[in-house]
Amino acid sequence: MNHQQRRKKIWFDVDTSLMLKAGTRSSNLALIQTNSALRRIEKVFPSIEFKTVPFSSPGDRDLKTDLRISEGDFFTKDLDQAVLSGKLDCAVHSAKDLPETLPDEIGMFLLPWKEDPRDVLIFSKKFRENPHDKPVIGVSSDRRETFCKTRYPNCIMKSIRGDIETRLAQLDSEDYDIVIMASAALIRLNLTKRIDEWISLEELPAPERQGVLAVTYHVENRFMRTMSRFFRKQHFDPCCLSTSTVMLTCSEKLMQKSVNMIKEYRGIPIETPLIKLVPTENCFQESELNNFDWLILTSPTAVSIFTSQISEKVQLPKIAVCGPGTEKILIENGFKADLVADANFGSQGMVDALENKLNANDKVLRFCSDYSSETITSALKKMGCEVDERTLYQNIPRKIEDLPDFDVVFFASSSAIKAFVEQWGTMPLDRKIVITIGEPTFKTACRLMPDCHALMASKATVKGMVATTADLLEFRERLLRS
């Protein structure tokens, strides 16, 4: 069996019915963030399925002890014991809840999907309407207490306990004027509308792991040990794609970068651009741009086309972009982003990022393609913004005479997936590795290619697609050996 045949065997022969039990605390926040994380892990590893098992912890049962004097395993003890006894394969925690030192038998790794690490202030209705210099503030850490003494020198500080909903209820009943919370919790609970002020990291530095999730497991659990290596790994084998043929369906803008990276890791790139991007004529007039408060550009292509049609000295409104890749292209063209949606490069990520930046009645100019969804525009209109949506470029499918033979296919856009399916259907994807960039592209793959087990790249970049492919192959190879 040659190397390429071996890789194909690895990909398809792993047991597809592996069920792992994952524990978490029983609060609404813990269940939501755990289930979200587990679903994302399952997208990367389709052969694994998780069952969520809720547990209580000493910290959930004891609501009187001040967290500043609690034991290090106050929120993890029961889950630790269940992992050590074998009742659980793993447990998912807010990483900042973990003690500094774990038992020797417990391993841990951090998940790459992070939320905003900042803390926020939430005011009671009474304080919001009539602010004063002696507010009663609910605090749960020395760090936040120090901040309160600086911001509100005359404040009265009281310990606060309970889950997020309980703390908000205490605030609403006017037990407190202000409470300080981690923004990550409110984001995950879809409660960002309760936020009155985002505290800068300069004013209130966040703990290193705030907004990050961690997974713990018994060090003798071979499946979790292998998964830990996958998430801990920072670099991959320079020959990781050796002899694998990779079909690249991206536009010309990403093609050369993709080809170079595939070659760098010893893969064989097959350039098969499925979409031609054609700028829309007379989409806008430079003189009208200053009439808007915000300009939204959601892709590197949109930035490239837009900046090619304006002069260097043009006055622009505030600019919002999706992801560091789009921001980089904007900077290379001599402009600066005022907002970068980097938690989630899809439409919802942009909506979440804009929600606390825009004001009602703001005028927003959104440039998009003819294949873009209406999620952003609809959400902004609900916020009370005046949105002008312009189609900056068209996605024109390319007709490919013959489908090349390939082992792996990379899709960087929903339009490329649609073009593939319209030309060849989904049968050619049987027993192939399908990698997508970004959640919108992944969702399109799931909808149009439901039987192909598409995976979403760990990062929404070309390197992220290569890394996901390489690490996944290694992961499955280790499973076969273990």
Domain 277-396: assigned CATH number? 3.40.50.10090
Judged by DSSP in three states, 428 sits in helix
CATH superfamily of 10-113+212-232: Periplasmic binding protein-like II (3.40.190.10)
119-198 matches 245-274+398-481 in fold: no
| All residues at 6 or more sequence positions from 40 whose CB lies less than 8 Å from its CB, including other chains | 111, 113, 456
What DSSP letter does each residue of 229-270 carry, written as one string?
Answer: HHHH--S--TTTTTT-EEEE---HHHHHHHHHHHHHTT-EEE
Taking the alpha carbons at both ends of the chain, their separation in whole angstroms is 20
Q: Tell me the residue ranges of DSSP E strands in 111-210.
A: 119-123, 136-139, 156-159, 178-182, 197-198
Provide the CATH number for the domain formed by 119-198 in this structure: 3.40.190.10
Q: Using CB atoms within 10 A of its CB, is residue 31 exposed (0-12), middle (13-18) or buried (19+)? A: middle
The first and second tokens of residue 162, run together, are 């309970």
Whole-prediction pTM: 0.53
Bridge partners of 279, per DSSP, are 393
The encoded tokens of residue 343 equal 């938690």
* Domain assignments of the chain as residue spans, ordered by start: 10-113+212-232, 119-198, 245-274+398-481, 277-396
- Angle of the 222-232 helix axis to the 462-481 helix axis, nearest 10: 160
Pairing of strands 119-123, 197-198: antiparallel
Task: Going residue by residue through the chain, which has 482 residues, state the pLDDT in tens, using 9 for 90 and above.
Answer: 343 443 333 333 444 457 899 999 888 899 999 999 998 888 777 778 899 999 877 655 555 655 454 454 556 778 888 888 889 999 998 888 888 778 888 888 888 778 888 999 999 999 999 999 899 999 888 889 999 999 999 999 998 878 889 999 999 998 999 999 999 999 999 898 899 999 988 899 988 888 889 999 998 888 888 788 777 754 455 556 767 899 999 877 788 888 988 887 778 999 999 999 999 999 999 999 999 999 999 888 899 999 999 988 888 999 999 877 788 888 988 899 998 886 555 677 788 888 878 888 999 999 998 888 888 899 899 999 999 999 999 999 999 989 999 989 999 889 999 999 999 999 999 878 899 987 778 888 988 988 777 888 877 777 778 877 776 666 655 555 55
Instruction: Identify whether the C-beta of residue 234 lies closer than 8 Å to the C-beta of residue 209.
Output: no
Nearest alpha-carbon partner for 127 in 186, 176, 169, 166:
176
In terms of Cα–Cα distance, which of 467, 466, 468 is closest to 455? 468
136: three-class secondary structure by DSSP: strand
**Could you confirm whether domain 245-274+398-481 is CATH 3.40.190.10?**
no
Which residues lie below 8 Å from residue 307, measured CB to CB, with a gap of 6+? 330, 333, 334, 335
Rounded to whole angstroms, the Cα distance separating 87 from 84 reads: 8
Burial class (CB within 10 angstroms; exposed 0-12, middle 13-18, buried 19+) of 173: exposed
- Cβ atoms within 10 A of the Cβ of 443, count? 18
Q: What tokens were used for 332? A: 């290379």
